[in-house]
Every structure is written in C-alpha cells, then in structure tokens.
Structure 1
Amino acid sequence: MDQISTRDLIMGNPVARAFAVTGDAWTQLILREAFYGARRFSQWRDRLGMPRSVLTDRLNRLVAAGLLEQRGAKDSATRLEYRLTEMGLDMFGVAVMQGQWERKWARSPLQERYALAFFDRQSGERVMPAIFDHERGHPVDPKQVRWDAGEGLTAIAPPTSRRRRTQPIETDRAIIDRSTDIMGDYWSWAVLAAAFFRLRRFDEIHEALGVATNILADRLNRMVLHGVLQKKLYQKAPPRFEYRLTRAGLDLFPMIMAMHGWSERWLCPDGVPLKLVDVKTGEPIHPIVCDLATGQRLDPRNIRWEVEAAPEDPDAA
C-alpha cells in the first residue's frame, strides 16, 4: 500500500465520512427530535425554530443520505411524514454517547437538574450505555486501541457549504443540546479529529485539513473557549502555540468510537478505510453502543427513557 498522507488519514477515515453527513448542528438536532418522536415538518419547525428553507434542506439531505424516509401519514391521504430508517435508528447509540459527554462537560440548564435514564422495555432493567468491540463482545478500553490503514483511505471532499448556526436555540433537552453549539459543524469535528491524531500546531493542522486559515482559527478558538482544547505556548519569540486535548476533549473518544462504528456499518460498503484493533488481543474492533450488563446493542425501539434527578457529581452520571 502506498504511504498514507496525514490529510488522507484525517479526511478519509470512517468518522470523517460520518461527520460529512451528520456533523451539522441542525442535522444533529433534527435527529434528536426524531428520537423524541418528531415526524412532521411542523413539529421540527415549532420545536427548533428553524427557518423553513434550512429545515427543508436538512430533511432533504437526510432523506438522500438514507437516515430518513418519507411515508404517507396514516391520518391523511395527502400529508407526508418523515420516519427514521434502520440507518437513522442506528444513530441512537451515537446520540446517547454525545448526550453522556454533554451532561458531564456542557450541561444545559435542564441537565443541571435532570438526567436521562434508560431502561429495557421488556425486562425493565436499567441500561448503562458503553462502547463494545462488537455486540455481546467486550467493553473497549480507549488506551488499548490502535488503527491500521485499510483500502481506500483517501481524503473525501468536505460537504457543500452550510451556514453555521451561530445563535443558540431555546429548546432544553436532557440529551444533545449545548454540544451542538460547541461542535456543530464539519470543520469543528475535523479539528477534533486532527487533535486525536496528535496534530497540535496551527500550520500542521492547516496543511492536513486544507481549510481556510480564518475558519481554522475560529474553530480552534471555539474549542479552547469551551474547554475541549487547551492552548500552550511552545515558543516565545515569535509566540507560537500548540493545541492539546483537555480531559473534556479526551472524553469525547467514546462518541467518536460510536460514530466510527456507525460509519463502518453504513458508509463503507467497499471496506473500512481505517480499521481499529485491540492492542492486547490483535482482534478487530467494530465499535457499537451496547448495554454494559448484557452486551446487547442499544435499539431505541427496545429502550424507554425517563427523566430523573441528575446526580450532583457529573462523574457519577
């Protein structure tokens, strides 16, 4: 295999493919409301306060990508509804892991008081989400994961330009709310990916991503402001800085793993361009969000969730 460039590594891996589809803040919020039962255009419009043109665009993109499908409404011969497909339903695990990170590091006012608890619909047992190497396998230890380049690891084109949502919305949910203000666009996720691949300096991140310098500076500053990256001086004259993942940034790894697994299942029909391997066993890792006790995949059709009082210590959540 030819030598892999840093750009190919960051912009062509499964997570990059996934965020090209779902990395936009409005898209994440539309999927969140779909898990809360939204099916009609008016429900998303009223709950999210989205401009009609933006909502239409995102719904069309989700249908084209295969996460939503249009069906005729049961109570109307003319009205259409949007339903999650199997591909869309499989995003539930990613949303749960994103919500867990948010509850710990970026709580909304509601999340200061309440948390979501998940239960198996049949047994009634509490479900504790965790990343497994495969369904009914073993929990993944982030420190025991390495990657191998697969076939087709080449940089993909960034998604077509979509205006970043700059104003926070008024909804307050117990899952996925403030995190979309922090990482609600493709380039924010690309910067995060660069950090996980240990790119730390502005010039090397810029070379790997190929993004405009003003956009890169904005995303780096945003990540520092929200505590995902920390800015450290490594040269005094002239001043030069490095950007390193904080504890909050490192804690995004389970969500990144969940997104990697989702992309493997749905966006890599010709093989996985970057494979994950267990360092200890040498066995492949196909990340999936499962119940810690049973190893069973989290399926929103088999899970009910309830709002309960949030623990005072976010680490206890």
Structure 2
Amino acid sequence: MTTPTTRDLIMGNPVARAFAVTGDAWTQLILREAFYGARRFSHWRDRLGMPRSVLTDRLNRLVAAGLLEQREAKGSATRMEYRLTEMGLDMFGVAVMQGQWERKWARSPLQERYAMAFYDRETGERIEPAVFDHEGGRPIEMHHVRWEAGEGLTPIAPPTSRRRRTQPIETDRAIIDRSTDIMGDYWSWAVLAAAFFRLRRFDEIHEALGVATNILADRLKTMVLQGVLEKRLYQKAPPRFEYRLTEAGRDLYPMIMAMHGWSERWLCPDGSPLRLVETDTNEPISAVVCDLATGLKIDPRKIRWEVEAAPVETSAA
C-alpha cells in the first residue's frame, strides 16, 4: 500500500464520508426535528421555515442515503411520512455531542436559560453522554489516539452544490441551533478536518482540500469570527498568517470521534479507510456515544430528554 497523501487523509477518511451526507445546516436541523418526532413534510416546513424545494431535496437525499425511509402515514393510503431508520437513529449520539459542544461554546439565547438533560426511561437515572472507544470501554482522550491507513483511503467527490442557509433562524430547541451557523456546510467541516491534521497555512489547506480560494477564505474567516480558529501572524514582510484551533475548536474532537464511529458502522462496508487505535493498549477504537457512568451505548428509544433551567454560573471570588 502506498503512503497516503495529506489530501487522502483529509478527504478520504470516514468523517469526510459522513460530512458529505449530513454536513450541511438544513440536514442537521431536519435530523434534529426527526429526533423530536417530526415525520411529515409539513412538520419540517412549519417548524424550520425551509423553502419547499430545499426541504424536498434534503429529505430525498436522506432517504437515498438510508437515514430516513418513506412509509404510508397511519390511517391514510395517500399521505406519506418519513421515519428514522436504524442508521438514522444511530446519528443521535453525534447530535447529542454537537449539542454538548454548542451548550459550552455557541449558546443561543434559549440555551442561556435552559439546558438539555437526558434520563434512562426505565431507571430514571440521569445520563451523561461521552464518547467511548467502544461500548463498555472508556472515554476517548485526544492525545491517546493514533491512526492507521486502511484500504480505500482515497478522496471522495464533494457533494453536489446545495443552497447554503445564509440567514440564522430562531427556534426553541435547546440542542443544535447556532452550531449550524458555524459548521453548516461540507467545506466548513473540511477546513476543520485540515486543522485537526495540523494544516495551518492557507496554501497548504488549499492544496489539501482542492477548494476554490474564495470559498476557503470565507470559511476560514467564519471559523475565526466564531472562535473555532485563531489567526496568527507568522511572517511580517509580507504579512502572512496561519490558522490554529482554539480551545473551542479542540473541544469539537468528541463530536468528530462520534461521527467517525458512525461512519465506520454505516458508510464503510469494506472496512475503515482510516482506523483509530488507542496508543496505550494498541487496541482498535470503535467510537460510540455512551453513558459516562454505565458505559452503555445511548439509544434514543431508551432515553427521554427534558429541557431544564440552566445552572447559574458564578465566577470565582
């Protein structure tokens, strides 16, 4: 096997495959509403205020990808509804980790007042989501993970052009809202991936991604403004800058690991093109979102979630 290039690593890994399916803002919001019980076209249209053509396109894509399936609505032979498949339900863990990050770093006005809490339906015990190396294992730590290239590590084609959501919308959900304004399209995710592979300068990011320079400049600017990347001067004459992950950017790692695990389970039938390994034990990592206390995989059918008053944060004296 030939040594993979940086472009292979960034654009051909399992996370890149997942982002090509679920990386844009409208898709993330459609899945969020599906977890809340949305099944009919009108539910999403009324809830999200999406243009009809865009909603139709995203629903069709999610059905084609296998996350949703169409069924006849109960009591109607002519009306159709959309239901999450096992593949779609498994995306819940990724959504939860995205919401955890958003709660910490990109709160909406609603999230200033309320927080999402999760409970086991049978025991009533509170659940604390965390990304484990496998169900029943232990939480993943960024500095204890290495990768190994597998077969099929080749860049995938970026998704076909989609209308990007340019205006934020107001919702009353305490999970997945403002984060879609920051990372709501495929190229934003690609820039983030480049940062985790320690690409820092515009030219090297551009070479690795193969994206148009104006798109790259726009995504880097957005990431800096939103606090995910920081811009540092590394040369004065002429002035040149590099882009580094901030603490908020590094805190996206659990969500990315959750996405990696989901993609391995559903989008890599011939084996993972980029395997993760625990450095201390050399054991393979199969990332999954679990309850921190029990190590059991979080299943949206077995938990309930509630909106609770956000804890009051006090500064140290």
- Determine if the TM-score, normalized by the shorter chain, exceeds 0.5: yes
Deviation at 1:313, TM superposition (A): 3.8
Q: What's 2:156 paired with?
A: 156
* Cα drift, residue 309 of structure 1: 1.1
* Structure 1 gap ranges (5+): none
1:1-317 map, 5 Å: 1-313=1-313
| Structure 2, unpaired ranges of 5+ | none
Separation in 2 of the partners of 1:46 and 1:309?
26
Given that 2:71 and 2:82 are in contact with CA atoms closer than 8 Å, whether structure 1 keeps it comes out as yes
Q: Is the 8 A contact 2:133 2:285 kept in 1?
A: yes
What secondary structure, in the 3-state scheme, does the structure 1 residue paired with 2:130 have? strand
Paired residue type of 2:156: I
Deviating beyond 6 angstroms after TM superposition, the runs of 4 or more aligned structure 1 residues are none
Q: What CA distance in whole angstroms lies between the structure 2 residues aligned with 1:314 and 1:27?
A: 36
The TM-score with structure 2 as length reference comes to: 0.98
Read off the aligned partner of 1:268 and give its amino acid letter: C
Tell me if the contact between 2:150 and 2:274 (Cα under 8 Å) persists in the aligned partners.
yes
Q: Conserved in 1, the CA contact under 8 Å of 2:54 and 2:163?
A: no
- Residues 23-46 of structure 1 deviation map (CA, whole Å, 9 limit, x = unaligned): 010000000000010000000000
Q: Is the 8 A contact 1:104 1:314 kept in 2?
A: no
Calculate percent identity across the aligned residue pairs. 84
Q: CA separation in 2, counterparts of 1:247 and 1:137?
A: 26
Instruction: Provide the C-alpha distance between the structure 2 equivalents of 1:245 and 1:139, rounded to a whole number of angstroms.
Output: 22
- The letter of the residue matching 1:273 is P
1:45-81 residue CA offsets vs partner (Å, 9 max, x unmatched): 0000000000000000000000000011112121110
The alignment partner of 1:134 has SS state of coil
Q: Deviations over 1:148-201 (max 9, x none)?
A: 111110100000011211001121310000000000000000000000000000
Structure 1 residue 312, shift from structure 2 partner? 3.1
Deviation at 1:314, TM superposition (A): 10
CA RMSD in angstroms comes to 1.1
What is the CA–CA distance in structure 2 between the aligned matches of 1:125 and 1:177, rounded to whole Å? Answer: 26
Whole-Å Cα distance in 1 between the matches of residues 172 and 163 of structure 2? Answer: 22
Equivalent pairs, count? 315
- 1:92-133 alpha-carbon deviations (Å, 9 max, x no partner): 000000000000000001100000100000111000000111
